[in-house]
Amino acid sequence: MSNPQLVMYEEEFQEINDVIGRLLKEANSKVIFLVDKNGQLISGVGETERFDTTSLASLTAGNIAATGGLAKLIGEKEFSILFHEGEKDNLHISIVAGRVILVVLFDSRSSLGLVRLRVKKSSEELASIFEKLMKKSEEKEKRGSSDFPFAEITDDDIDNLFS
């Protein structure tokens, strides 16, 4: 398969939330999301309950995928930063470690310059956490370690989902 499966563990989840929680404050932003390139929400901090986070994740990934396609067409690898300016709120979207998308929503209490600066620093921290995460799941896979929750499911479990 082209992409290894993304697995998230307690420890790294906490570390990731610490990093984006800090970024939220340091960048004076309203809300921050981390989204898998396939459109699945990894985590969010700030005023998350104001947003339909699932839709947001899917559209962000679609947006990154579309601009990535555009980049290839003109001979670029990818556009690693996208910026959308609204009347009140702005979106700063960037790619971390080649596979996750960092979305920062901010208003006039912050500025593009500040957000860009803080994002840069946090991205490096996030990149190393994701690297650790990938290594961890690869190792678990190699050892055939069986904390996988679905190894034991039965046909009944599956059928029950649809009842």
Partner 1 sequence: MSFINYASREINCKIVYYGPGLCGKTTNLQFVYQKTAPDAKGKMISLATETERTLFFDFLPLSLGEIRGFKTRFHLYTVPGQVFYDASRKLILKGVDGVVFVADSQEERIDANIESLENLRLNLKEQGYDLDKLPYVVQYNKRDLPGAMSVEELRRELNPTNVPDYEACATTGEGVFETLKAVAKSILVDLKKGK
* Site of interaction with partner 1 (CB under 8 A): 1-10, 12-14, 36-40, 42, 52, 54-55, 58-59, 62, 65-66, 68-69, 147-153, 157-162
User: What is the 8-class DSSP label of residue 47?
Assistant: S
Q: How far is the CB of 159 from partner 1 (least distance, A)?
A: 8
Q: Would you say 102 and 32 are in contact if contact means Cβ atoms under 8 Å apart? A: yes
Closest CB to partner 1 among residues 17, 28: 17
Shortest CB 139 distance to partner 1, Å: 15
Identify whether the C-beta of residue 81 lies closer than 8 Å to the C-beta of residue 94: yes
Q: Which one, 55 or 111, has the nearer CB to partner 1?
A: 55
Beta-carbon contacts of 134 under 8 Å, excluding residues fewer than 6 positions away, are 4
Closer residue to partner 1, CB minimum distance, 83 or 148: 148
Q: How far is CA 22 from CA 5, 6, 10, 16, 69, in A?
A: 28, 24, 18, 10, 32
Shortest Cβ distance from residue 119 to partner 1 (Å)?
23
Cβ nearer to partner 1, comparing 5 with 108: 5
Instruction: Name the DSSP class of 74.
Output: T
